[in-house]
Amino acid sequence: MGWSAAIAVAVCLSSSAATLRQISDSAQRFFSRGRYAEAQQILEAALDQAEHTDRRELAAILNNLGVAYWNLGRLRDAQRTYERALEIRATLGETATRDVARTLSNLGLVYTDLNYLKKAEESLARSASLNESLGGTADPGAASAWLNLGGVYKAEGRFAEAEAIYRKALAMYEAADSRAGIALAANNLASLMPASGRLAEAETLLRRAIDLWEIDLGPRHPLLASALNNLGVIYTTTNRFDEAKECFERAIRIGAAVLPPDHPNLASYRIGYASLLRKLDRKKEARQLEQQARLALDRHARNNFLGHTVDVRQFVK
């Protein structure tokens, strides 16, 4: 079935050039509403100005642009922007700051999605250690890095270690009273439960994430779609078909409205719904959804072989 992950990304809000700071703030507002394509447009428009005014601001813009690219499924483009942001920070003598830790954590996500798991683990472990040295064990930035490191362990099949780290991240978010972080950790922790038959615990965690995201992010945010899809998987497994259908259909509506058509999460939602339809003996509809998902995943893989756009390959050298 199509279980989808909701993972933590961090945005750099810089504090020097006023105009570029306003652009970063505007991008943050788009991120909070799940409007990643619009954030991408304003951040790309700011690159030339940042190139010629302030290298520190340029690094912040690149990090935030990487967040937009990653959320839009543009993995190679995100990788290049994050790596260049870190290179710029290094030339400025910044190797142990919160902004560096944020970008390292974000880059670790991309490495995980590209299956560069050793590089992902190194980047995320460095981010978590750096964050904790700067802010202590209740710092949300450190929790974000630990949460993402749990995703690496999950990808490697190290489920007990992944669960321990997810629970650690959840406790850190709770100590920091970070509602957004609590929802993320609950969603990701729930992803480990079905394999060991802990479906009731998974449902409780997902309901917690959905309740928080519906209040804080509204009814059309991509993170909410991820949790709805995951809850649909649980309902399908427990033969609660009407509830599963409602979850999948809502997840697909949200994903189709806010994500690119070849985004892997949207494909995951369709695969999950197809599994339900097969149980309901609606095999023709299931095959159609599965074909849509396969074509989208093929396009996604092709687009991420080098990167989506020539211009991105030029400016991120």
Q: For the residues 235-257, what does the mean pLDDT come to?
A: 97
Measured between alpha carbons, how far is 202 from 189 in angstroms, rounded to an integer?
A: 8
Cβ count near 42 (within 10 Å): 18
Query: Which residue range(s) make up the domain with 223?
Result: 178-309
From CA 240, how far away is CA 105, in angstroms rounded?
A: 37
Per-residue confidence (pLDDT) for residue 316, from 0 to 100: 34
87 found inside a domain: no
What is the C-alpha to C-alpha distance for residues 273 and 136, in angstroms, rounded to an integer?
A: 42
Q: Is residue 128 part of a domain?
A: no
Label residue 20 by pLDDT band (50, 70, 90).
confident
Asked if residue 132 is part of any domain, the answer here is: no
In a domain, 136, yes or no: no
The arithmetic mean of pLDDT across residues 163-190, rounded, is 94
Residue 158 lies in a domain: no
Q: Is residue 224 in a domain? A: yes
Q: Is 101 exposed, middle or buried (0-12, 13-18, 19+ CB in 10 A)?
A: buried
Q: How many CB atoms lie within 10 A of CB 78?
A: 30
- How far apart, in whole angstroms, are the C-alpha atoms of residue 176 and residue 166? 15
Tell me if 242 is assigned to some domain. Answer: yes
Kindly tell me the number of DSSP H helices and DSSP E strands found in the chain: 15, 0
Looking at residues 265-272, what average pLDDT do you find?
96
| 218, part of any domain | yes
pTM of the predicted structure, to 2 decimals: 0.85
User: DSSP state, 166?
Assistant: H
What are the pLDDT digits (tens) for 123-167? 999 998 898 888 765 677 788 999 999 999 999 999 999 999 999
Chain Cα centroid distance, residue 135:
23
The total number of structural domains that make up the chain: 1
199 falls in which pLDDT band (50, 70, 90)? very high
CATH code for position 210:
1.25.40.10
